[in-house]
Amino acid sequence: MTRVAVVVFPGSNCEHDVAAALAAVGVEPVLVWHGEATLGDVAGVVLPGGFAHGDYLRPGAIARFSPVMAAVTEMAAEGAPVIGICNGFQVLTEAGLLPGALRRNEGLRFLCEPASCRVRSARSVLTSACEPDQVLELAINHYEGNYTCDEATLRLLVENDQIALTYEDNPNGSIGDIAGVSNEAGNVVGLMPHPERAISPLLGSTDGVVLMESIAKSASAWAGRARRPAHAPVAN
């Protein structure tokens, strides 16, 4: 079974929801404490939501220096799926693994509500199982979800097809209605909505399943690709 790490920072509070959502799509979740230097034998990593290190200074500002982040950065460079959800998205931008930054919501209100999100690119590891233009009913739960970048960066995001998800009705002032972005390669993705909270009719939506399935599919594909060189006969 494909294994995916879920990093637990002091102050994370969505790690068990993410683990359950991964298990629901056939992935074995492995909770990894932020103080660990390695992620173990995994084919991807999710940084879950919460308030890592109390969100002191800025959300994600302290978490990016957690020991485990060196291993996360290495996995990202190797092309493995790296997903940041909500606070995890903030950590990835602070770590420089994703462009831009997340500021306080326009209107200075904490938002905890459903948000319709449109899949803009099915190229990323988070959206590879989606149909382009598919609209997903997800939940948002944040105070600092107002995605910001300069105009030049926004042009690059559009040109390189890095905008994974947009809000149908922008709730927080994000530039370009952006709800989720990827790096240029598409293997590092951050999003403010919580796919792990939309995996059962009991939760009000099952639209997060296709995003979790994308993660599962990407991790499985990466595991297959990563293993081949290790088992390949050595030339000469």
Taking CB under 8 A as the rule, does residue 158 contact another protein? Answer: no
Measure Cα distances from 122 to 56, 88, 147, 161 in Å.
34, 21, 20, 9
Beta bridge partners of 136: 117
The kind and range of the H/E element at 111 are: strand 111-119
Contact pick of 173, 176, 200, 203 for another protein (by CB under 8 A): 173
Taking CB under 8 A as the rule, does residue 67 contact another protein? Answer: no
Burial class of residue 123, CB neighbours in 10 A (0-12, 13-18, 19+): middle
Give the binding range for another protein (CB under 8 A) out of 97-105, 118-126, 178-186, 187-195. Answer: 97-105
As a whole number of angstroms, the distance between CA 33 and CA 66 comes to 10
Q: Which of 14, 86, 130, 149 is catalytic?
A: 86
Amino acid sitting at position 140: I
Restricting to residues 100-139, name those near another protein by CB under 8 A: 100-101, 103-104, 106-108
Taking CB under 8 A as the rule, does residue 93 contact another protein? Answer: yes
Taking CB under 8 A as the rule, does residue 152 contact another protein? Answer: no
Q: Rule CB under 8 A: which residues touch another protein? A: 57-58, 61, 65, 93-94, 100-101, 103-104, 106-108, 148-150, 173
Looking at the annotation, which residues are catalytic?
A: 86, 194, 196
